[in-house]
Amino acid sequence: MILTKDDLGRIRKVKLATKINISGKEFYVKKAYDADGRNEGIDLAINELINAEILKRIGLISPDIEIIKLRDNDIYILSEDIATLGNFKTVSSLGLTRESSSSLFNIWNFLTEKYRDNKRILAQIPELFKEIVTMYLYDIMMGNWDRLGDNWGIIFNDDESEIISLALLDNEYHLDNFIPNISSLPEGDAWFQKRRQLLMEEAPVYEIRRKEAIDQELRRFFYESSSEFYQVFANLYDTLTPKFYEEILDDLEQTKGIHTSKGIIPLEITRKDELIAKYIENYERIGQIWQEAIHGRK
């Protein structure tokens, strides 16, 4: 993808996430902020790039991502508009609450209740739910606590009589511990102040995703899920090995770049060793819980 000077000029004006036209196509652009102030948000942008790449490789729809670095090291995330792929509805817009978005059980109940009088859609929910289970387990494996109702949804056909696919967006959290750092966000920035208040209000929901998802929801999943959904986890775990993860990071460094006013520069994942170590720790912990579950299911 080639960005013109006009494209970069429009991107530079973005403060909050917004849709803009780039060379005749719609994209979402947001400025990348990092709670720790590391490299002006480059880590969050790279996180989103990593998640988008892996999600595609496991068969889920996620936007193409580009990273833009402008003056003063301002980092922007440019993402494909999911709406261009079909009639996309976030589950939040469909009525799923924030509290319910952290539980597979609640998501299933929400969907079946919402479409109980729509036999055509209702019949498609079991197949859709395989993708939802994949998304849910992926987020646990990647430490993404931010899968709330505004950043995933369903692509329907034009009259919403058929489900086309699940789609995910806003995948910027990845093997990170973000909530404890909210109190340290910089003073004096209106965006940060707004975000601080929002995140503190939603902290209990995020804590469920970040702290309790593995110890409670994952154990519940192992003990109560059907063999079909249990197999979804087994396939995912066998695919997303530490070796696979490391290869993804290497591939991204070789194939992706960062757009600047002077052209495209190579992507360097400076935290690669740290990310790999965190991933191995999370992967092994999940594997241990799985083994306990296998023993308990016998």
Tens-place pLDDT, residues 243-258: 999 999 999 999 999 9
- Residue 1: pLDDT band with limits 50, 70, 90: confident
The model's pTM is: 0.83
pLDDT at 59: 95
Q: What is the pLDDT of residue 6?
A: 85
Domain ranges of the chain: 5-297
Per-residue pLDDT, averaged over 54-62, amounts to 95
Say whether pLDDT at 61 is over 80: yes
Q: For 3, what's the count of Cα atoms within 13 Å in the CB-facing half-sphere?
A: 27
> 72, exposed or middle or buried, with CB in 10 Å at 0-12, 13-18, 19+?
exposed
What's the mean pLDDT when you consider all of the chain?
83
Sign of the torsion angle spanned by Cα atoms 217, 218, 222, 227: positive
pLDDT at position 130 is 93
Q: For the structural domain made of 5-297, what CATH number should be given?
A: 1.10.1070.20
pLDDT for 261-298, tens place per residue?
889 999 999 889 999 998 998 899 889 888 888 876 54
Q: How confident is the model at residue 101 (pLDDT cuts 50, 70, 90)?
A: confident
**How sure is the predictor about 203, in pLDDT bands with cuts at 50, 70 and 90?**
low
pLDDT for res 40: 58
The bridge status of strand 75-80 relative to strand 152-156 is: unpaired
Determine the pLDDT at residue 202.
58
**pLDDT range class, residue 199, cuts 50, 70, 90:** low
In this predicted structure, what is the pLDDT of residue 180?
A: 37
212-239 tens-digit pLDDT: 556 666 787 888 888 888 899 999 999 9
Q: What is the pLDDT of residue 184?
A: 39
Residue 186 has pLDDT above 50, yes or no: no
Q: For residue 138, name the pLDDT band (cuts at 50, 70, 90).
A: very high
Of residues 94 and 12, more confidently modeled: 94
Confidence grade of residue 26 (pLDDT, cut at 50, 70, 90): confident
Residue 188: the pLDDT is 41
Give the residue carrying structure tokens 């790449």.
53
